[in-house]
Structure 1
């Protein structure tokens, strides 16, 4: 009887994996929604304070860069101590950043709130941390689809929040809309309790590895470096489109409502794209999947820029781009896990995501800067096309196999 009493209770992941996926998906949805709505706030804020689009664009560029800088460190803390504390701190910073953004009457305050605070908040509570938690906690058979589900949930946040932001802006004003979104981020805290669990330990027979050794191993691995470089393009395109697409559509004679629904169409279509990508990631070489996604993005952007601007072409572009939007995440995170295992998954995926966010910084910043100097976004669109085709080529040489490691010598 004592032996039965003392037997370890199965983990929550073993007893209720669906609950973990559900709570993680809700966190991803909440955290991705407000940052996907940033373009909705650009014209109201710049109009009220007399700023150029480059001022607002720099704030979101800082957000993307800080998000990227903070993610590897948040990942390292999550790898060492578990994800719940990281999610709590991230949610608190995110809420504070959105609240302060509502009262940011100077560029410096905007850069601090929307840039630094929201950026660090995202590094601690975005879908990157959720996906890493899925990789550590869930049984192997659940992982590919859960990666797609977590990414798709972020996309549902993009579907839900931009039209909500556009509607609230016209009814209660953009200041109050930001406060509402800030309060919504606090819901992440109770949801994070489901993702509490022991950090993953080295496998039996595997040498214990320090953080420094794990980083050295990863950056000496050519396939990891190629993966990191290719992910740059994804960030460039996503951040540029999220921030500048509503204004670009208004420049071409369409309404802010069309801009909001185009972003929503991206988010809705990417639910299917992310789930499909997660499903395909376990059934075909991931490098080919990534190359196809980047190549197709380039073709979609060419068509969008050359076609006449109207609600049909705008929403159609949103649907096509949405199918390819965050569909890069499941194969990218899956490749990191395949190469290096789950021990430092959050940190190593975090460094790949840092490259993504450097691209995001440049996409948002150059979008605003070049618009103010050239009077249009055309150059940035064509640069995005060139980056798409370059990333398609970069991913093809990746070798999909675990890194070779020496086994731990047997005792005695």
Structure 2
């Protein structure tokens, strides 16, 4: 299936704004915890379960939604995701207990996000943008998530203060509905490249077998699992860790804001590097860099300054893995089934995120500190760095050929 030619910049702009809205709103839901707890008596464990369900479903459903996007078009999937996102927030604004919150803000929203976050959007953009510019394009879309965090989190806080948490969710639903319109910008598929004319159309089953038999694909899964572990562990537990060290709670809040701000720069820089350097080497450097940053953070006294420096450094390395990992999948296997193949890798990321948030808390409960969780984070960073180095990154070709 082909479509009329569209400027790659239209797809890039619409894709970036979709991710900005989806991820920006997602990062603000923690602000609802106290208002929801006070008004309807939903405790923190129940609220946390809703967010955990959202993350888990986002990961588990993503490969299947990615496959639908590859088959029927990213625009349709993104429009459906945006509509379900808005409906989820409207329904969440009406809940009166924990079960309703877990079904709306957890289950429905987790499913909605599969259509409007990195996997589907990057898969669409990758098909419109020339290969030599793909890394930069992926970096810009990834940065959109942090732009959303930087802009929409304080906006949601103001909405909660002025409209209450229910009104803020309705305002978020109105914003989410814009994604339905923006989905038109990533709709359809570009015409088949002439260079591919000598090969028959590849089927999804063949693409999955090809990826499953490629050792580098599984090494990318290992690396992205570690990325998810780091992101969830730090986002969930860093503020509490800093309070444990005697710092003011505002230091942790500022640290998370700085992570989002510096990720904008990191995503752009690493996306640009994906077009100029070997992606696997840059990925390895990011993971090794995380190990060095964490070791440095733990080696010095815990002060507001050290927390700020750590947040800036880790923020720069935060999601630079996304344009590189997705770009490497596209480089090796092509972009025809990029949403499906990257969706599987993204599922590994979300499973890692589940363990980063849950296991770190479990280790704290068992040991009384985060020391073991930090040690595990360092070890995993080294493992991920080593895992990326041996990846065979040469493009693979379909074995099927057209008879002369």
Does residue 190 of structure 2 align to residue 186 of structure 1? no
**Among residues 58, 69, 79, which one is paired with 1:78 in the alignment?**
69
Aligned to 2:352: 359
**Among residues 307, 313, 337, which one is paired with 2:330 in the alignment?**
337
Separation in 1, partners of 2:155, 2:250? 11
Aligned to 2:135: 144
Aligned to 1:5: none
Unaligned runs of 5+ in 2: none
Separation in 2, partners of 1:98, 1:306? 43
**Among residues 228, 234, 237, which one is paired with 1:241 in the alignment?**
234
**Among residues 44, 48, 54, which one is paired with 1:57 in the alignment?**
48
Show the 5 A alignment for 1:286-365.
286-365=279-358
Aligned to 2:59: 68
Separation in 2, partners of 1:388, 1:373? 23
TM-score, normalization by structure 1: 0.88
Q: Contact conserved, 2:4 with 2:190, CA < 8 A, in 1? A: no
Aligned to 1:4: none
Greater displacement, 359-368 / 99-108: 99-108
Aligned to 1:198: 189
Does residue 11 of structure 2 align to residue 11 of structure 1? no
Aligned residues: 401
CA positional deviation for 1:170:
4.3
Q: Contact conserved, 1:227 with 1:352, CA < 8 A, in 2? A: yes
Separation in 2, partners of 1:88, 1:160? 23
Separation in 2, partners of 1:251, 1:41? 23
**Among residues 86, 93, 117, which one is paired with 1:95 in the alignment?**
86
Q: Contact conserved, 1:339 with 1:400, CA < 8 A, in 2? A: yes
Does residue 28 of structure 2 align to residue 34 of structure 1? no
Q: Contact conserved, 1:163 with 1:260, CA < 8 A, in 2? A: no
Q: Deviations over 1:119-157 (max 9, x none)?
A: 111111112211111111122333121111101111111
Q: Contact conserved, 1:31 with 1:127, CA < 8 A, in 2? A: no
Kindly report the root-mean-square deviation, in angstroms, between the aligned alpha carbons of the 2 structures.
Answer: 2.7
Unaligned runs of 5+ in 1: 1-7
Q: Contact conserved, 2:142 with 2:323, CA < 8 A, in 1? A: yes
Secondary structure of the 1:187 match is helix
TM-score, normalization by structure 2: 0.89
Greater displacement, 395-404 / 311-320: 311-320
Secondary structure of the 1:11 match is coil
CA positional deviation for 1:205:
1.6
Greater displacement, 65-74 / 98-107: 98-107
Separation in 2, partners of 1:178, 1:257? 25
Secondary structure of the 2:115 match is helix
